[in-house]
Amino acid sequence: MDIRAVGQPITASQRHSYAEAPDSSFYQTFQSAFAAASAVADGAAAGPEAAGGQAGPTSSEALEAILGRTHTELSALRGVGADSQAVYAKVLDKAYASGAMSNPRQFLSSLSAGELEAVRRNHCLAEPIDVAAISEEGARNLLLPEGYCVDLNGDGLDEVGAGLIAHFPPNEAPAAVREAWFQATAAMPDGEAMTYGLMMHDAVYGLHIDGQNTPSPYKADDMDSYRQIVSNFLAALEAQRGMISSEQYARDKDFFTRLGALLALGSSGV
């Protein structure tokens, strides 16, 4: 993934908290990278033995070329070793080559215990994967490396196995929204960016509480929705000024004003 902000790649922190939908060339590009790395690693059978079969290429450069920088960086942060990443990469290559994304649960059910454990570890899931209990969306996202996901039901929550993950901007957000967001949060501490991201996410999709969703009038693929949401936040900030600290007021005012200005510069197209 090579999302750019103002002509420059977005920061590692921004990549780690964002995921994009795979485009039409993603699967072929992955398979080509896997084949090339396998050939370099003394043939497809060269790699150390691992649970679930022989691993593929295990060098950091090869894994990054196959799985992407976001996946390998998050794996390093989580302590997921190269052998486990290599087994996972081989699982994905097998899935894409066999057309398994059309029936991901059936494919996951066919994996060995070692392969399924590699899938679990690479997505940092706390519990073993119960294939029968997960949705098609949850299964499909297990077969995408970190940095990529699909939201099949359009609820703004990505099911990964049995887990739910929210990220902002949404996959379907206009490119100008992503550009504005990455510019506005480029130098922001992670916790602060996550807080604002959650505020924007809830405004777009409504609140999700105990399985219930409060409807939102906004559309995730509409540029004007984001402009109106920012305007709403600024108006609410003025209305609540006497009830919040001066520091919070100044911080929120600065952020939403900057974001609003960046959105105003963006294209109105989707």
Q: Is the peptide bond before 169 cis (omega within 30 degrees of 0)?
A: yes
- Tens of pLDDT, residues 174-229: 999 999 999 999 989 999 999 999 999 999 998 876 666 677 899 999 999 999 99
Strands 4-5 and 49-50: unpaired
Query: Which residues, listed in sequence order, are joined to residue 9 by a DSSP beta bridge?
Result: 4
Q: How many Å apart are CA 12 and CA 2, to the nearest integer?
A: 11
95-135 pLDDT tens trace: 999 999 999 999 999 999 999 999 999 999 999 999 999 99
E runs forming strands in 38-155? 49-50, 53-54
Query: For tokens 């929705």, what's the residue?
Result: 225
Digit-coded pLDDT (tens) for 37-49:
998 875 545 444 4
Which of 232, 217, 227 lies closest to 259, judged by CA?
Answer: 227
Residue 38, CA atoms < 13 Å, CB-side half-sphere = 17
Non-local (6+) Cβ contacts of 1 within 8 A are 15, 20, 68, 69, 70, 147, 148
d(CA 150, CA 132): 19
What pTM did the predictor assign?
Answer: 0.86
Tokens of 22: 């795979």
| Residue 81, phi-psi category: left (phi > 0), alpha (psi -120 to 50), beta (remainder) | beta
Give the distance, in angstroms, between the CA of residue 72 and the centroid of all CA atoms in the same chain. Answer: 13
Q: pLDDT at position 44, please?
A: 47
Reported confidence tier of residue 269, pLDDT bands at 50, 70, 90: very low
Among 175, 144, 185, smallest CA distance to 13 is for 185
Strands (E), 133-263: 158-160, 163-165, 208-209, 212-213
